[in-house]
Copies of this chain bind each other. A is one copy, B any other.
């Protein structure tokens, strides 16, 4: 059976999750490897997911007053060096431009790994008075970090993202924006990507180079590993002092601004694959699926079948649904398998027997549930099923997350869980970086975050047994 073969070409998730992932990104035609080391090609089916993410997230940004801008790709070396922690964090993985045409440049230019320094340079020029605040700018662009080991969507030398950079009059305003954007990310991931998030603060060890505080959203993949899916940083006035960004307040006093930055990237596509995918390939929530409905005519040479299929397609198009009609000469089973591999949310089958009854058959990608529906009601049924599917996928992911959170009260328990039960481990922490390092050394698990919803599940640090300070989510992570 040809259709069986298509599916057999991908490794089963349970057998080898890593190979399953690599198979899916290729077979679903999301990406391709390029001739440039560590850089990937976003193919139409992969890039369209990113476009759907961009459109909906950008809308949410703008509702909070974000304005889009575009800053240069290059950072002069002296600018990168202005903030000490920041340059230490990013210089080791910087790509350096040294020549323009045949001439050697007087100063090396770093291909942006992130643009804090450029935004600070801009803000120091355009912020003068309290009237100029806040500045809430964002850009959609690509960034480069010279990675040694790479993995499609999860870690590559170049990736696509958005980076928001804001400047505020007060520390309170900056903190409020930091949390506001983390919540935008979390809401977006739940409502659009159907991925529930753990929200919290990073420990000092894990925070962003140059930040006062870093907040994160962490998701749980199907294999029980964590994926940091977005971060929001509060810089306080550290960068403002390094770049001399001052404004005159209402009392005519010079003050430093307070800043934030926040970003999500094409990693989110990796999260979609690893949260929702199955052994038939990609499974996408309708809100981000490049194709929401694929229509497969059965016995398409029989009179009226193709006409009916085309009629359904037009009705769905008119209703604003992203729909395709597969009238190629492949067999229906093969068409089913291909669309399932590519993550199309719904399939409509329509053949001579359906036509007699004036009906067609919907099949959901996530649970294969079939629904028979009058041809004239296809568009409204598609909308109903997509809503249900979107909600069910979130619910299923939420359940998977809940079922894979374990409490550890001491180090024995911790090590037992980390070895046998993939997932998040909740464990108390004394606050000492030495314990984070020991846990990582012993188990490869890292502190994912100190969740906003703190609880005292034990009095002592899960690692050293000293007095506990904070509840931490630990886990192995991508």
Contact = CB atoms under 8 A, between A and B. Distances in A.
B48 A68 contact: yes
B79 A118 contact: no
Contacts of A137: 44
Nearest to A160: B70
A48 B93 CA distance: 32
Query: 8 shortest A-B CB distances, which residue pairs?
Result: A39-B72, A100-B146, A44-B67, A42-B70, A96-B99, A36-B72, A98-B98, A92-B101
Contacts of A434: none
B34 A121 contact: yes
Nearest to A78: B35
Of listed A76, A93, A98, residue having the most chain B CB within 10 A: A98
A124 to B, nearest CB: 10
Contacts of A435: none
Interface residues of A, number: 53
Contacts of A141: 142
B35 A121 contact: yes
Given A71-B41, A122-B41, A35 B76 contact: yes
A381 B41 CA distance: 47
Contact of A144 (B39, B50, B73, B108): B73
Nearest to A91: B101
A334 interface: no
Contacts of A95: 74, 97, 99-100, 109
A32 interface: yes
Contacts of A47: 67-70
A111 B36 CA distance: 12
Interface in A99-141: 99-102, 108-109, 111, 118, 121-122, 125-126, 137, 141
A43 interface: yes
B70 A32 contact: no
A94 interface: yes
A14 interface: no
A75 interface: yes
B72 A44 contact: no
Contacts of A111: 73, 97, 111
A158 interface: yes
A281 to B, nearest CB: 19
A51 interface: yes
Contact of A71 (B34, B51, B157): B34
A247 to B, nearest CB: 17
Nearest to A39: B72
A119 to B, nearest CB: 10
A98 B47 CA distance: 29
Contacts of A101: 91-94, 146
A138 to B, nearest CB: 10
